[in-house]
Structure 1
Amino acid sequence: MTESGEGAIAPYTEAARARLVMAYEACELADLARAGVPIGEHELNPDGTTRAPGAVLADAARILAIAQRLLEAAAVFERMAGADWQLIGSILGVPPRTARVRFAMSEAAFREELIFPKGTHAGGAAEEANCLRAHMAREPLETALDLDDWVLRHEDGDGDLGTAPVSGGLVRRDLQRCAEEHP
């Protein structure tokens, strides 16, 4: 499903799109962290040493990288939802200027992607992650429906999440008001 073209669904707010990117990063982090819990039957040698030196550390490094992306996505979401640098710095225990220096480029990139979608990129894992985030920001409903499925598959007695635990909470722009503000 797309938001472009005739009969398109009302576009989601920038804050809703940023929250969706954050939800995706949390999903990725949860999946990767969960994969580190089981100890495979043939993972360890009989003397307790590893059969794949460095593999566990590499997995932990990937988890840390995703956790950093989640933090960045959370800061962008907070900015899109109206938080100032004072609040973000206070929550992180750093001066507002430090928070701004740390996250302003991510916020600017997110805003730019909403205005000027770049499409596909050729590059490494970081470029692939940026391309995926751009897709999520441009096609939020598709991403939200995928995350609905993920949440429902991983429900651990979280109560009644309903059938749309992600997509049901997204806020759409008021198209009438947008038309009045931008004739």
Structure 2
Amino acid sequence: MDMTEIGAGAAAPYTDAARARLVMAYAACELADFARFAVPIGEHELNPDGTTCAPGTALAHAARVLTLAERFFEAAVVFERVGGADWQVIGDVLQVSPETTRARYAMSEAAFSALLSEEDHATGAAGEVTSLRAYMVREPLEIALDLDDWVLRHSDGDNGLGTAPVSGALARRDTRRRKPSMEL
């Protein structure tokens, strides 16, 4: 993809579903990066008896991972909805009623729709999260290129990802205008 496509209006050629998938991909990346910090055990993290030197630190980190996992899950629900899944399908996956699912995630879907229409960039629980999501929706190619780099850095030798494992798959809208057919 051409880097000149980045900038004002870069969002326009991408479908709403592609932009929702990009928000989901970013949430997964953020979750993965944060969760991996819990794996190494620092030299000064444990006492000689194996207990923690800083009580509550591991729990606080786990709570943040859970919050990020919930954000990823919410983005997945929105992506599924934008892609055409009804509340019944989502409820079936969650093993709850469609009404329960709608009550839980309808506001997330509405917030994403508001971002698409650029009516309200301040919608959401955390302004910084919503601001970042708004940016992702407005500038999907720039975010996708960053995610391409992230995937390639973390690919562990996976072949077949190509050079654009995120940006290469973003679906674009058909921007060609259809000419009205002439009826006889």
TM score, norm. by length of structure 1: 0.88
Task: Render the CA deviation track for 1:92-123: whole Å, top value 9, x for unaligned.
Answer: 1111111111111100110111112555x6x9
Deviations 1:63-82 (A, max 9, x none): 00000000100000001111
Q: Which residue of 1 aligns with 2:169?
A: 169
Unaligned residue ranges in structure 2 (runs of 5+) = 1-5
> Which of residues 62, 69, 72 in structure 2 aligns to 1:70?
72
User: 1:178, CA displacement in angstroms?
Assistant: 7.7
Structure 1 contact 21–133 (Cα < 8 Å) conserved: yes
Range 108-117 or range 24-33, more displaced: 108-117
Task: Indicate the residue corresponding to 2:7 in structure 1.
Answer: 2
RMSD value over aligned CA atoms? 2.1
Q: Match for 1:164: what amino acid?
A: A
Contact 1:117 1:138 in 2 (8 A): no
Instruction: Give the partner amino acid of 1:2.
Output: G
Moved more, 85-94 or 154-163: 154-163
Structure 1 portions without partners, runs of 5+: none
Separation (CA, whole Å) in 1 of partners of 2:179 and 2:40? 53
SS in 1 for 2:126: helix
| 1:135 aligned residue | 135
Q: Tell me which protein shows more helix as a share of its residues.
A: 1
Match of 1:21 in 2: 23
Counterparts in 2 of 1:179 and 1:137: CA distance versus 1, 3 Å: farther
Q: Share of identical aligned residues, percent? A: 67
Correspondent of 2:96 among 94, 97, 119? 94
**SS at 2:176 equivalent:** helix
2:13–2:172 contact (8 Å) kept in structure 1: yes
Call closer, same or farther: CA 1:80–1:118 in 2, change over 3 Å: same
TM-score, normalised relative to structure 2: 0.88
The structure-2 alpha-carbon separation of the partners of 1:178 and 1:141, relative to structure 1 and needing over 3 Å to count, comes to: farther
| Higher relative contact order (Cα pairs below 8 Å, separated by 6+ residues) | 2
Is the 1:3–1:10 contact (alpha carbons within 8 Å) kept by the matching residues of 2? no
| Moved beyond 3 Å, runs of 4+ | 177-180
